[in-house]
Amino acid sequence: MCGIAGYISRDDSPIAREPIERMVTALKHRGPDAQTVHLDGQVGLGHARLSIIDLAGGHQPLFNEDHSIAVVCNGEIYNYRELTKTLVSAGHQFRTGSDCEVLTHLWEESGPKMLDQLRGMFAFILYDRRQGIVFGARDRFGQKPLFYYEGPNHIAFASEIKGLLVLPEVSRDLDPLGLDQFLFHQFIPQPRTLFAGVKKLAAGCCFEIKLLPTVEKSSVAQTPQQSSNGTVHETRANGAMNLIKKSDPHSGRASFVIRRYWSPSFAPDETLSTSDHLAHVESGLIDAVESHMVADVPVGVFLSGGIDSSLITALAVRFNPEPLQTFSISFPGSEHDEAPFARSVAASLGTNHREFPFEPGDMRDVLTSAATLFDQPLADMAVLPLMALSQAASEYVKVVLTGDGGDELFAGYRKYKRMASIPGRFQWLSRISTQLFPVHQLAACRPDPTGLRKIQTRLAMAIAPQCRSEYQRQSWEGWERFSLYQPGFAQTVVDRFESRNSSDDSVEHTLSPLNEALKRDQGTVLADRLLLKGDYATMAYGLESRAPLLDHQLAQIAGALPLHLKATPKTTKVALREIAKRYLPDEIINRRKKGFSMPIDRWFRTDLKSWVRSCLIDDSTSLPRYFQRSAVERLLSEHAAGKNHSARIHSLLTFELWCRAYATP
């Protein structure tokens, strides 16, 4: 687990040390154990390491036998032992025990098709000097982030945007459409970010850069120096997929192509009995948890007391020789507090459990820290307690398992019950309604003087509940954003909203409403909200988070479940609940889902009221540039009077604090 960076020349000019060194330094919090820089002609690679596997010998970049292939990787390859055994049998020689070394040898054997063999969470950049190719990829669900900048002279990559912003050619200019999407979704869907010149590599995608020919290089490269004091060290070497993006606008420049190599599948298998399906799910769960326990450092679990994290804990106990360490956050005196449930699970499973309280007084400091940490704003309220929990847990372990992905793979949200209740003979009406009321039109920034758009939106939600996977009613709707924006800014985004289309709409429209919604939720919502939140919040404190429920082999098993084992009109997460009954107390299985939440609406009216007003009005930097004061004043007044605008206030507050940290003055 770490931070990675890449800096590639689009002509034949060599990469200097200083730019890539600055990129690595900006990512040092992700990898406090060691930082290295590797230079090889047109390519610079950087790595900031958090040691998890092969603590002594796993320094990156990692190489093949003759050092003609180098790789930097962020993440874990869980099946590296099996892959290593196969590659050794084929004649490959390994120099380290690092899981990521398999990438160099797999590339020699299979090229881009190597991705089909990987089981893990990863973002990597690989350079093949002999072929003049830079190749990289992001894992299937997007557990590990990777951002890029494409300019006329260079292409750059980094695990976080702040690793790109240190480059002088990367502008901090705001992307207006990115802001408009953020206020609607509360996150920014891939591939956009809030910076006009920075993009996200989408989950399940890979890229290939074909370098221009240059003078012949030596086949000998130096191995990286190991860092003993945390400083950056340099090494220098001498001398069938869906096309997402193909870019070569500059004649005589290196080409840059992005392709999708994987999408989740939904093919309900009606030939198997219910007991067979449940057996497959249980064995898949056990196998996923066991594979995710591989580490040379202590592993713990974030235990919320819900089904997902509780089931992960029950299975992880089997594979931990010592009492498993579990961690939870509490909200003392609040109805949102789920700590008692976590306590109950920990007691029944015999874990070494620690609980950390989160008070309203903590929120101001954590929210301010989050604005600097998250170099693209994310208005997910769970970010704040998750950061506090990550900081506390990092004192005890370096790796934690989470229950992330259980709702999206096994249908855990209440909206899925509504989709399951649509009779088969009326599903055509639901599908037509999504075409009659496309989300990009319903959500577009434009006025609604007659209220017709609001009526259309509510009608679409009622007739086609799968639209809820795209349309977030708790955020700023289109007509609300039009009234919020300064008139000049509103004209830059009016009627230009982009919907979060899936990778293959032709396949999606043949699915049932329930599977269609699951496919959308397993796309950008999962990668750009839930997983980005988990990655940044944990890596800020040198902590690696792993999500066994997002194992792609388990995802295939979930995709094959019949609809009645996913959700019914009365029950969510049917299959997972049945499995959980074999491991967990009834009170955990049958309780109503709350989610990872806190009483932020009340805090905005009481403890944090004056601070929020100061941020959004009195001392605001974003207000004069983007928003109308009267609209923000009205929002705060209505919330103080009892109307719950906490989500909208939180979005504005997150953006304001982000502007202070990152926006161009």
When comparing pLDDT for 75 and 49, which is higher?
75
What SS3 string covers 242-273? EEEEEECCCCCCCEEEEEECCCCCCCCCCCCC
Quickly state the pLDDT bin for 97 (edges 50, 70, 90): confident
Q: Where in the chain is the domain with CATH 3.40.50.620?
A: 274-358+380-410+517-590
Per-residue model confidence (pLDDT) at position 214: 63
Q: What is the mean pLDDT of the chain?
A: 87
Quickly state the pLDDT bin for 470 (edges 50, 70, 90): confident
HSE, CB side, 13 Å, CA atoms: give it for residue 451: 1
Report the C-alpha gap between 445 and 492 in whole angstroms: 10
Quickly state the pLDDT bin for 223 (edges 50, 70, 90): very low
CB atoms within 10 A of CB 569: 10
Percent of the chain residues past pLDDT 70, beyond the cut: 86
Whether residue 532 is predicted with pLDDT greater than 80 in this model: the reply is yes
Quickly state the pLDDT bin for 222 (edges 50, 70, 90): very low
Report the C-alpha gap between 661 and 305 in whole angstroms: 35
Per-residue model confidence (pLDDT) at position 229: 38
Where do runs of H (alpha helix) occur along 474-582?
478-484, 487-493, 505-508, 513-520, 532-539, 552-559, 574-580
Quickly state the pLDDT bin for 475 (edges 50, 70, 90): confident
Dihedrals φ, ψ of 221, to 5°? -130, 150
- The predicted-structure confidence for 618-651, as pLDDT tens digits, reads as follows 999 999 999 999 999 999 999 999 999 999 999 9
Report the C-alpha gap between 285 and 553 in whole angstroms: 10
Whether residue 391 is predicted with pLDDT greater than 70 in this model: the reply is yes
Token digits of residue 537: 């919040």
Whether residue 410 is predicted with pLDDT greater than 90 in this model: the reply is yes
Residue 43 backbone class (left: φ over 0; alpha: ψ -120 to 50; beta: rest): beta
Q: What is the mean pLDDT of residues 106-111?
A: 97
251 CB-near residues (< 8 Å, 6+ apart): none
Bridge partners (DSSP) listed for residue 43: 8, 40
Report the C-alpha gap between 62 and 124 in whole angstroms: 11
The three-state secondary structure class of 130 is coil
Query: Which burial class, exposed, middle or buried, applies to 47 when counting CB atoms under 10 A from its CB (0-12, 13-18, 19+)?
Result: buried
CB atoms within 10 A of CB 650: 23
Tokens 């049932």 correspond to what residue?
A: 512
Question: Is residue 125 within a helix (H) or strand (E), and if so which, with residue range?
Answer: strand 120-128
Token digits of residue 449: 């003087």
CB atoms within 10 A of CB 348: 16
Whether residue 226 is predicted with pLDDT greater than 80 in this model: the reply is no
Q: What is the mean pLDDT of residues 162-178?
A: 96
Whether residue 239 is predicted with pLDDT greater than 50 in this model: the reply is no
When comparing pLDDT for 399 and 420, which is higher?
399
Distances (CA, A) of 78 to 102, 209, 390, 536: 11, 27, 23, 21
Report the C-alpha gap between 498 and 495 in whole angstroms: 9
Q: Where in the chain is the domain with CATH 3.60.20.10?
A: 2-161+198-260
What single letter denotes the amino acid at residue 578? Answer: E
Per-residue model confidence (pLDDT) at position 137: 98
The answer to whether 65 and 93 are in contact (CB under 8 A) is yes
Report the C-alpha gap between 330 and 342 in whole angstroms: 10
- pTM score, whole prediction: 0.92
The three-state secondary structure class of 96 is coil
Quickly state the pLDDT bin for 216 (edges 50, 70, 90): very low
Q: What is the mean pLDDT of residues 124-139?
A: 97
The answer to whether 520 and 470 are in contact (CB under 8 A) is yes
Whether residue 16 is predicted with pLDDT greater than 50 in this model: the reply is yes
Q: What is the mean pLDDT of residues 506-533?
A: 84
Per-residue model confidence (pLDDT) at position 234: 45
Query: Is 2-161+198-260 a domain of CATH 3.60.20.10?
Result: yes
CATH architecture classification, 274-358+380-410+517-590: 3-Layer(aba) Sandwich (3.40)
Report the C-alpha gap between 360 and 600 in whole angstroms: 8
Per-residue model confidence (pLDDT) at position 568: 95
Where do runs of H (alpha helix) occur along 98-166?
102-110, 162-165
The three-state secondary structure class of 412 is coil
